[in-house]
Amino acid sequence: MEKPQLKIRKLPPCRAACPAHVNVQAYVSLIQRGKFREAVEIIRKDLPFPAICGRVCFSPCEDACARVNVDQSVAIRGLKRLVADIEREQGRVKGEPVPKKYSEKVAIIGAGPAGLTAAYELAKMGYPVTVFERMPEPGGMMRYGIPNFRLEKFVVANEIAYIQDIGVEIKTGVEFGKDITLEGLREEGYKAFFIAIGAQLGMKLNVPGEDLEGVISAVDFLRALATGKPLRVGERVAVIGGGNTAMDAARTAKKLGAKEVIVLYRRSREEMPAHPHEVELAEKDGVKFYFLVAPKRIIGENGKVKAIECIRMRLSEPDESGRRRPVPISFSEHQYEVDMVIPAIGQVVETSALPQELLNKDKGGMLIKYDPQTLETRIPGVFVGGDLATGPASIIEAVGAGKRAAISIHLYLRGRDPKEGLDETIEEVTWVKDWNMVNKKARRYDAPIEKPHLSLEEAMEYLMQLKKKARFEAFRCLGCGPCAECLAGVELCEGDKAVVDEVKCVGCNVCAVICPVGAIKKNDRGVAQVNEDLCKGCGLCAARCPENAIAMRKLSAEAIMAMISTALER
Amino acid sequence: MEMEAEPPKIVCFMCNWVFCGEELQVPYNFNVFRVPCIGRMDPVLILETFANGADGVMLVGCKPADCHFVDGNLHAERAVKMLKKLLNLAGLGHGRLKIILFSPLEDGNFDKYAKEFSEEIWVLGSSPLKNAELAPKITANLAAAKNAASAFRLRVLLGREEELTELENAYGERISEKDYDALLDDIVNAEFVRYKIHYLTRDKPLSVRQLAEMLGLKPSIVLRHITNMRRKGMISMYRVEGNTPLYKALEVH
């Protein structure tokens, strides 16, 4: 794999929208055909966490899905989860160790989604990779930030075990900046470094009373729970913030026995960054929401939280993030009696562990000085990515960063400029422009399956039933992109394209009407022209061309005839 | 029912995207070919398969709207409709060709359908091509059918069926299914007869009367076809014998 992995790629909307560019169209198409195992293999090519992302990904693919124009997007995430769960039915899937092709050792700091993905990609290329993790278990926020009811711990463990199978070494309990340093690792023979330690500190509220007993940031709260530390949950808990972490913390508190959990958010429901589904589930669990309130101070008694004083807000004109800015309303202070406050207003990076050269000294800029495209820093051989670089984001974005880092590190170690990998442009290609076609394809399946947001027990019970349902659901995919290279029909369709004999073509337009993906159009000379990006090699045009002017490159009429006559002679 | 020692040879073209379990179970006399889409099967290829000695041809596609290529399966259905007419004219009978749109999700195992078709072909017996008496006539008919199916007129009609019956043509008109069927019938008949004439006059020049006898048609109808064919450059007057003009086929394509 001397060449950089990425080229100029034409992708369907779902794949283009995914930060890790998972080949959605291919695996959905394999699910249609009931090939669940092959579907997971396809996912694993781009993403080492099919089961994790099948549960907690915020699914940008579904938002981009062209099916939205017909009814609702295909339940891509649910399908992904399903195939990953089916695969696991037969026990944990073992990865094949990849032989080491290169001798340069790579060190990865932080075993979160970004670090593990980079390790996975580099190991697949044939590098010896070691991942260093501070916590006793690898997984980062996937393990310590997402509560068990959303993402079971053994799912994380399974997927990480797969990464270890292919040859990644993970060392836990090693703290960067304390137990190991860049210099030390360089002496040990590591040639390249990827720092992805994430954003682990809960952001401070900056209101009086924050040091009282009973105030614990959401990340600390969830981490304590995941590490099994004894945790005392108050009777009445206030969670501050409207993101997914706030939802997780609120639901966890409720599940741990809090009598009343209130979420205080300074804007209204529409502006909440949490996934609407998560909000719904939190409400179902009995969490109460108060909108347009911001904490002003936390009132204590004997060093413990007694109440939280809030002020009412109103929304004014939208700010640079497009959301309406909350403005406090004077003299609207009021108090809620609570004995625990969980701020969940964001996370920040623990800069103390980082080499000081990495930090950006000028205020207002990025926290860390790095090239956002190649992820290089000013220290040669050191790359950064994930939440550490971008601020708190999502698993799938971290996976995207990890993949990017792997390519940059590969180029760097081969003595090439990491910028070489940048010539790729992702172009969205879809035939969904002609609504006649969409309606044709869409006429059968109109109702999406209930998107499975189930707990494991429920899901397993549901699985058999779901297998059939999932295939129907997968059939809702319009297949609107170019050939997905799903390799489901390798010998037949791989790279087959129609070729027009321009001399024979009379410009009757039959092919243009018949082409399912609109890949054939008449050009200005009145001759049919094949757009090879869209052509999927079905051969419908060749079968109908009145002048026999279209031939298929691979499966020509002659080739089919030869097959038939040999078979019939037998 | 005539039972022969040799089992009928059945060719089955199956869409690559129809998934029938890991192992496809079909009777031993089935030859299964996977094609990228069942719509890929050019009518000419199917006629050619019969000319090669197949006793039955089965096309297996996906259910409507499950097609990987939007509506390749429906295109195949249209082709089969036309082919059945041609096969009837050629004397093979329409029963030897069958298309099923199949989904293991809804229809269960494929072997049931394969067996059913195999039995149907057993009942029909082996292809008349294998009967020494009928063979020359059937060969001629199949050649004519093949030429008709590869010529512009039928192909363009077939290619436009959807446009004509489901969408609208350039003038915003739509033809009803029934009208289209009548049109297709007319054109299939005419094209078959013309290519039959073309085939018969290939080697030796023939008069209208001789052709009418061979085809079992009225001389006036044959003459009308010949006039048309002359205009299209398919045939020309070869010489005049007494008062009777003789016609001979010209090379087409």
| pLDDT at residue number A4 | 45
Interchain pair A555, B40: CB under 8 A: yes
Given a cut of 70, whether residue A20 has pLDDT beyond it is yes
The alpha carbons of chain B give a radius of gyration, in whole angstroms, of 20
Interface mutation target, options A514, A534, A569, chain B, most CBs of B under 10 Å: A514
Tokens of A20: 């890790």
Interface mutation target, options A538, A545, A547, A558, chain B, most CBs of B under 10 Å: A538
Given a cut of 60, whether residue A440 has pLDDT beyond it is no
Q: B162-182, pLDDT tens digit by residue?
A: 878 877 777 878 888 888 899
- Chain B residues touching residue A489 (CB < 8 angstroms): 16-17, 34, 36
- Chain A residues touching residue B72 (CB < 8 angstroms): 516, 538, 540
**Which one is predicted more confidently, A483 or B175?**
B175
How far apart (Å, rounded) are the C-alpha atoms in residues A317 and A337?
Answer: 32
| pLDDT at residue number A7 | 55
Q: How far is CA B94 from the centre of its chain?
A: 9
Tokens of A33: 């055909």
Strand A293-301, strand A304-318: pairing: antiparallel
Q: A504-547, pLDDT tens digit by residue?
A: 888 888 888 888 777 888 888 888 888 887 888 888 888 888 88
Q: How confident is the model at residue A2 (pLDDT cuts 50, 70, 90)?
A: very low
Q: A200-229, pLDDT tens digit by residue?
A: 888 888 899 888 988 999 999 999 988 888
| pLDDT at residue number A467 | 74
Q: Nearest-CA distance from A506 to chain B in Å? A: 10
Interface mutation target, options A430, A485, A486, A492, chain B, most CBs of B under 10 Å: A492
Q: How confident is the model at residue B97 (pLDDT cuts 50, 70, 90)?
A: very high
Q: Nearest-CA distance from B129 to chain A in Å? A: 14
Given a cut of 90, whether residue A237 has pLDDT beyond it is yes
| pLDDT at residue number A452 | 47
- pLDDT average, residue stretch A383-398: 87
| pLDDT at residue number A133 | 93
Q: A461-474, pLDDT tens digit by residue?
A: 666 667 777 777 88
Given a cut of 90, whether residue A60 has pLDDT beyond it is no
| pLDDT at residue number A370 | 84
Q: Max alpha carbon distance in chain A (Å)?
A: 97
Given a cut of 70, whether residue B158 has pLDDT beyond it is yes
Given a cut of 60, whether residue A447 has pLDDT beyond it is no
Q: How confident is the model at residue A429 (pLDDT cuts 50, 70, 90)?
A: confident
Interchain pair A517, B156: CB under 8 A: no
SS3 content of chain A, % helix, strand, coil (to 5): 40, 20, 45
| pLDDT at residue number A68 | 77
Given a cut of 50, whether residue A5 has pLDDT beyond it is no
The dihedral sign for the CA sequence B79, B80, B84, B85: negative
User: Count of alpha carbons within 13 Å of B52, Cβ hemisphere only?
Assistant: 22
Given a cut of 50, whether residue A493 has pLDDT beyond it is yes
| pLDDT at residue number A409 | 93
Q: How confident is the model at residue A230 (pLDDT cuts 50, 70, 90)?
A: confident
Interchain pair A440, B71: CB under 8 A: yes
Among candidates B16, B33, B79 on the partner chain, residue whose Cβ is nearest the Cβ of A489: B16
- pLDDT average, residue stretch A179-204: 91
ipTM: 0.84
pTM (two decimals): 0.80
Cβ contacts of B140 within 8 Å, gap of 6 or more: B196, B199, B200
Given a cut of 70, whether residue A311 has pLDDT beyond it is yes
Q: Does B34 touch chain A (CB under 8 A)?
A: yes
Site of tokens 């008694």: A301
Cβ contacts of A56 within 8 Å, gap of 6 or more: A142, A146, A150, A151, A395
| pLDDT at residue number A69 | 74
Site of tokens 């078959």: B192
- Chain B residues touching residue A511 (CB < 8 angstroms): 159
Comparing A99-108, A266-275, A346-355, B62-71, which segment has the lowest mean pLDDT? B62-71
Given a cut of 50, whether residue A332 has pLDDT beyond it is yes
Given a cut of 90, whether residue A431 has pLDDT beyond it is no
**Do B64 and B43 touch, CB atoms closer than 8 A?**
no
Residue A86 to residues A35, A95, A230, A234, Cα–Cα distance (Å): 11, 16, 35, 39
**Which one is predicted more confidently, A483 or A115?**
A115
Report the mean per-residue pLDDT for chain A. 84
How far apart (Å, rounded) are the C-alpha atoms in residues A539 and A230?
Answer: 65
How far apart (Å, rounded) are the C-alpha atoms in residues B94 and B87?
Answer: 6
Q: Name the percent of chain A lying above pLDDT 70.
A: 88
Report the mean per-residue pLDDT for chain B. 86
How far apart (Å, rounded) are the C-alpha atoms in residues B236 and B246?
Answer: 9
- pLDDT average, residue stretch B66-75: 82
Given a cut of 50, whether residue B42 has pLDDT beyond it is yes
Interface mutation target, options B20, B57, B66, chain A, most CBs of A under 10 Å: B66
Pick the residue from chain A with its C-alpha nearest to B72. A540
Comparing A403-417, A431-445, B22-36, which segment has the lowest mean pLDDT? A431-445
Among candidates A479, A536, A543 on the partner chain, residue whose Cβ is nearest the Cβ of B42: A543
- pLDDT average, residue stretch B16-25: 70
Q: Nearest-CA distance from A21 to chain B in Å? A: 22
**Do A384 and A377 touch, CB atoms closer than 8 A?**
yes
Given a cut of 50, whether residue A403 has pLDDT beyond it is yes
Buried b (16+ CB within 10 A) or exposed e, B47-84: bbbbbbbbbbbbbbbbbebbbbbbbbbbbbbbbbbbbb
| pLDDT at residue number A453 | 54
β-bridge partners, A11: A428
**Do A385 and A118 touch, CB atoms closer than 8 A?**
yes
| pLDDT at residue number A487 | 62
Tokens of A456: 């494991």
Given a cut of 90, whether residue A310 has pLDDT beyond it is yes
Q: Nearest-CA distance from B34 to chain A in Å? A: 8
Q: Does B38 touch chain A (CB under 8 A)?
A: no
| pLDDT at residue number B187 | 92
| pLDDT at residue number A34 | 79
Q: A250-262, pLDDT tens digit by residue?
A: 999 998 889 999 9
| pLDDT at residue number A3 | 45
**Do A343 and A241 touch, CB atoms closer than 8 A?**
yes
- pLDDT average, residue stretch A44-70: 86
How far apart (Å, rounded) are the C-alpha atoms in residues B18 and B28?
Answer: 20
